[in-house]
Amino acid sequence: MFTFLLPKDKKLFKYIFFLAVPVILSNISRVLMGLADTVMVGHLGSKAIAGVGMASMVTWTAMAIGIAFRTGTQTVVSRRLGQKIFNECGIALRNMHLFVFILSIPLTYICYTYTSFIMSFFLKDSETLFLCIEYSKYIFLSIYFIYSSFVFQGFYTGIEETKIHMKVVVVSNLINLYLNVGLIFGSDQIDSFFSNSVFYLLSYLWQPFNFPEFGVKGAAIGTLIATIWGVFHYTYYLFKKNIKQKYKVFIKSVDFQMLKKQLIISYPLAIQEFLVMLSLTAFYKIIAIIGIIELAATQIIFKIMHTSFMPAIGIGQACATLVGKYLGEENSNKAELSIYESIRGSLYIMGVMGLIFIIFSESIVSIFIKDISVIKLAAPGLKFIGFLQFIDAFCFTLWFALTGAGDTRIPAIFDILNHWLVFVPLCYFLGIYCGYGYWGAWVSFGIMLLFIAIFMFWRFKTGKWKSIIV
């Protein structure tokens, strides 16, 4: 009955995990860092969590476009790897770096200059709005470095060097964590943060430096510095002999014809990511109208939810690389088999995470905040997310598989329409108009995911992705 859960090609299944595990570990480290941030900000109160939550959602609307640049790089690089045209892998990297540099300069200026104006659309509570603006200004300064990191990630994953991505992300996250503790609480408050904790001795690590107490702003500054470090760390690995010589990464040339192909792959995703994140920001706005406590609970759920997303994203990226590589080798059957094996891997991981969310929801939520009113909303919300994990496994894996083949336009159009014609209106209708509040909004989220999973599976089964030329 459950034989479909067993790998059909064990060698391929193991290779998927060989590529995915470094990405999974790097993503888990990123999630743990984000969760640690939430715990630290949680010590500042529910308004701090709500403000940072809204800031994170709005700023990520600009940052998420970088996912498109990662895909535009990875899809071409993995295809050229399969075709054994190695020098064009380096060209694809240079092309996209040039593009994101030009794009990020005006975008950073606009976002930073008009932060207060932008955030005033989403929050009315003056204290929460102030914290949101304070956090967002520094995060907007990292736009170029975020985009550049995405491009590097696409390149290293595309050439099957996922361990490099893992090393960079883990080190960056450790730097981020260290700086956040110091800059949020300051040297005078670090001892009290670790007091009554098994980690009390760790407080000595911050004693060599005199940290100012910046609160919410400190979390943003720590993230900005760690992001800048990550770009320099990625660049360092380009000097490795097997990468520098094989992929010709330092030759001063740009191929505008290839860049055009990369942008054709990327632009539907860029529009998709921007509009989808904007819809999630609208979701946050609707939750904020319902109540600040509900917004704080939603922020905690989203942070915890990323714990299960990140391993699935790792498998998805491995899948995208193999799909591109096998299509480059003109082996579409192997590409299709790699998708099925990747779905199985995602189901294993996200299924286990879902069960953990369902069984231990209250214990997990109480780690992040002690406010009983927030816990009472967030704990059952996390149980609900636990049941959605199996649907998400299909969504993530198939999305990466299709983009790895260069099939970005039709899935992007559907995703945008699903979010803006189904999710947001239904969220408002159930949450506010019908008066179901918090639960009306979250049920709308579940319906939206179900529609995406059904569409992605249908699109995959049509097989049109096999004939796309990159």
Residue ranges per structural domain of the chain: 3-463
Torsion of CA 257, 263, 265, 266, to 10 degrees: 160
- Tens digits of per-residue pLDDT, 408-453? 889 999 999 999 999 999 999 999 999 898 899 999 999 999 999 9
| Secondary element (H or E) of residue 185 | helix 162-194
pLDDT of 92: 95
Let me know how long the chain is: 470
pLDDT of 51: 84
- Tens digits of per-residue pLDDT, 104-123? 999 999 999 999 999 998 88
pLDDT of 359: 92
Percent composition of the chain: helix, strand, coil (DSSP 3-state, to 5):
85, 0, 15
Could you list the mean pLDDT of each consecutive 10-residue stretch along the chain, which spans 470 residues?
66 87 79 70 79 84 89 92 92 95 96 93 86 92 95 94 91 90 84 67 80 89 94 95 91 89 90 89 90 87 80 86 89 91 89 90 84 88 90 88 89 94 95 91 94 93 86
d(CA 159, CA 67): 17
Q: Buried (b) or exposed (e) across 410-432, using 16+ Cβ within 10 A?
A: ebbebbbebbeebbbebbbebbe
pLDDT of 5: 64
